């Protein structure tokens, strides 16, 4: 996930995104840098000239994308995630990097507190759409908060990606975990985004993921 604490989604997030995983993600980031989708989001935003102003990073995890964008021009950020462990590790890393005053970490499910979260120049959702069985409400709220840009990554709607997702969910079920991931229609998501007054400014892909940047129409 890139995501209270007492609601059902928050419970599932804490079960999936544990302290051990948070520490592992931090170790990987320090040694290898951002993973593929985070790097593509960062670079796609840079290519559009969008890295400026404020950031709302929904499902921020330990804050990797937040840290990358703060280092490249974003002046302040709100990083929200439903996993307590990820927020704890991210806050600690922000202090170590000397940017704690520039980023506010919020432990909650974005949909539970969206009305309390300020809008931002850029809203990002890195591997977040796939954590929700229905994307419409999440995407609508993200768009409402995006003053200028919305950037997101999500699983490609392809047969082999759907098959891999079925296997991953089956393993979680066998392990007794409630958390599930989902593959949504890219065409349907784009229709919702464009109907809200945004146009696609960039698209990049890996074998399994798609990264899009949308700009609000002037």
What is the assigned CATH class of domain 8-216? alpha beta
Taking each helix axis as running N to C, give the angle between helix 186-195 and helix 136-145, from 0 to 180 degrees, rounded to the nearest 10. 40
**Tokens 């940047």, residue?**
213
| pLDDT of 12 | 64
Q: How many CB atoms lie within 10 A of CB 200?
A: 13
> In the predicted model, is pLDDT for residue 160 greater than 60?
yes
pTM over 0.75, yes/no: yes
**Tokens 């170790």, residue?**
27
**Per-residue pLDDT averaged across 175-184, rounded?**
90
> In the predicted model, is pLDDT for residue 37 greater than 80?
yes
The secondary structure of the chain, three-state, reads CCCCCCCHHHHHHHHHCCHHHHHHHHHHHHHHCCCHHHHHHHHHHHHCCCCCEEEEEECCCCCHHHHHHHCCCEEEEEEEECCHHHHHHHHHHHHHHCCCCCEEEEECCHHHHHHHCCCEEEEEEECCHHHCCCCHHHHHHHHHHEEEEEEEEEECCCHHHHHHHHHHHHHHHHCCCCCCCCCCCHHHHHHHHHHCCEEEEEEEECCCEEEEEEEECC
Domain extent listing, the chain:
8-216
**Per-residue pLDDT averaged across 85-112, rounded?**
95
| pLDDT of 158 | 97
| pLDDT of 4 | 34
Q: Which two tokens stand for residue 85?
A: 């462990």
> In the predicted model, is pLDDT for residue 1 greater than 50?
no
| pLDDT of 179 | 87
> In the predicted model, is pLDDT for residue 5 greater than 90?
no
**Per-residue pLDDT averaged across 144-151, rounded?**
98
Output the CA–CA distances (angstroms, integers) from residue 169 to 42, 62, 166, 178, 196, in the order listed. Answer: 29, 23, 5, 9, 32
Percent over 90 (pLDDT), the chain: 83
| pLDDT of 14 | 62
**Per-residue pLDDT averaged across 139-153, rounded?**
98
**Per-residue pLDDT averaged across 95-116, rounded?**
95
| pLDDT of 16 | 66
Confidence of residue 177 (pLDDT cuts 50, 70, 90): confident
Q: Which of the two residues, 5 and 23, has the higher pLDDT score?
A: 23
Percent over 70 (pLDDT), the chain: 93
Confidence of residue 184 (pLDDT cuts 50, 70, 90): very high
pLDDT in tens, 53-79: 999 999 999 999 999 999 999 999 999
Q: Which value, to the nearest 10 degrees, does the dihedral of the CA atoms of residues 48, 54, 60, 65 take?
A: 40
């Amino acid at each position: 996930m890139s995501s209270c604490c007492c609601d059902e989604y928050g419970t599932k997030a804490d079960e999936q995104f544990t302290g051990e995983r948070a520490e592992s993600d931090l170790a990987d980031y320090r040694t290898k840098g951002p993973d593929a989708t985070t790097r593509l989001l960062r670079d796609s935003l840079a290519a559009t000239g969008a890295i400026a102003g404020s950031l709302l990073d929904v499902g921020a995890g330990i804050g990797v994308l937040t840290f990358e964008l703060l280092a490249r021009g974003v002046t302040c950020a709100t990083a929200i995630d439903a996993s307590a462990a990820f927020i704890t590790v991210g806050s600690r890393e922000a202090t170590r990097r000397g940017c704690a005053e520039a980023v506010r970490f919020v432990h909650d499910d974005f949909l539970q507190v969206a009305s309390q979260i300020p809008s931002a120049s850029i809203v990002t959702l890195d591997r977040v759409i796939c954590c929700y069985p229905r994307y419409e409400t999440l995407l609508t709220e993200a768009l409402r908060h995006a003053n200028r840009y919305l950037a997101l990554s999500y699983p490609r709607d392809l047969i082999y990606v759907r098959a891999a997702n079925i296997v991953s969910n089956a393993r979680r079920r066998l392990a007794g975990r409630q958390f599930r991931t989902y593959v949504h229609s890219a065409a349907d998501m784009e229709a919702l985004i464009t109907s809200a007054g945004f146009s696609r400014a960039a698209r990049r892909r890996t074998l399994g993921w798609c990264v899009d940047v949308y700009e609000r129409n002037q």
